[in-house]
Amino acid sequence: MSFFRRFSRSPEAVIGASILGVLVVMALFAPLLFPRDPLSIAGPALLRPFQDWSLPLGTDRLGRDVLAGLFHGARTSLAVGLASAATAIIIGTIVGTLAGFAGGLTDEALMRITDAFQTVPGFLLALAFVSVIGPSLFVVVLAIALGTWTGPARIARAEVLSIRERDYVASARVIGMHPLEIAFREVLPNALPPVLALSSVIVAAAILTEAALSFLGLGDPNRVTWGGMIAEGRTVLRSAPFLSIIPGIALVLTVLGVYLAGEGAVETTAVRRGRS
């Protein structure tokens, strides 16, 4: 049975994949459906949802289209989540592979660096980093990755420690392959699947962290973000609660979709390994 057939038999995985599919469609079609700058004024301020069908979800305090912000915010959330996860996994797998394969002082030094990063909560590290460097999409991605690479590093190290003594690794040493070539060509590909299982958790955490930074005014000021939309609506929460509720629901559904799809993929892969 193929991976996709097994994946489709899990209700949680299907729900998660469906939510992610909607998010991807929103991100891809945002410039086509809403070609204007989402930060530009589109109508009267504080227009409630469904009062004007040209602005279905209403407008914020400055008269900006909430629906346009929701679609363009999906682009930001998806970009930050995927880029942060990719960066964290790349950094973590490199550090973990080097530590596990080299051993000795190299392992000790790299693991102490990992411990130092783990002692600081990821959000506080991202907050401090963005506050010092300045808010931009690249800085936010890097800040989130700095707080999440330690998990992939530890898992990669544990996997490499169990793989490095296998026969094919010993054979590679005998034929004279360079240690780095053995580590990254022979060992790392076999250690990577457990590390990739963390990707959904990292993506979900990255989306939430980016929203929190934007809520505090530390997101990219040139981009619409769901956290920024929630922050914009808090000053008129009593009179116009939809300004915070709508992006808040989108944020919750996105994180839920990422988590469910990731869990479904991990379970499907685990079933395939068990049967093989």
Rounded CA separation 17/28 (Å): 16
Rounded CA separation 69/214 (Å): 14
Residue for token pair 């898992």: 155
Evaluate whether 271 touches 14 at the Cβ level (below 8 Å): no
Res 276: pLDDT: 46
Evaluate whether 62 touches 41 at the Cβ level (below 8 Å): yes
Q: Can you list the residues of the chain whose pLDDT is less than 70?
A: 1-4, 270-276
pTM score? 0.88
Token readout for 229 is: 């939309």
For 3, 189, 267, the CA distances from 273, given in Å and listed in that order, are 11, 16, 10
Alpha-helix runs per DSSP H in the chain: 3-8, 11-33, 66-102, 104-118, 122-133, 137-146, 150-163, 167-174, 179-181, 188-196, 199-215, 226-234, 242-275
Rounded CA separation 72/148 (Å): 25
The structural domains of the chain, ordered by start, are 3-275 (1.10.3720.10)
Q: Which long-range contacts does 2-10 make (Cβ < 8 Å, 24+ apart)?
A: 3/268, 3/269, 3/272, 6/268, 6/271, 6/272, 7/264, 7/265, 7/268, 10/264, 10/267, 10/268
> What's the pLDDT tens digit per position in 44-71?
999 999 998 889 999 999 899 999 999 9
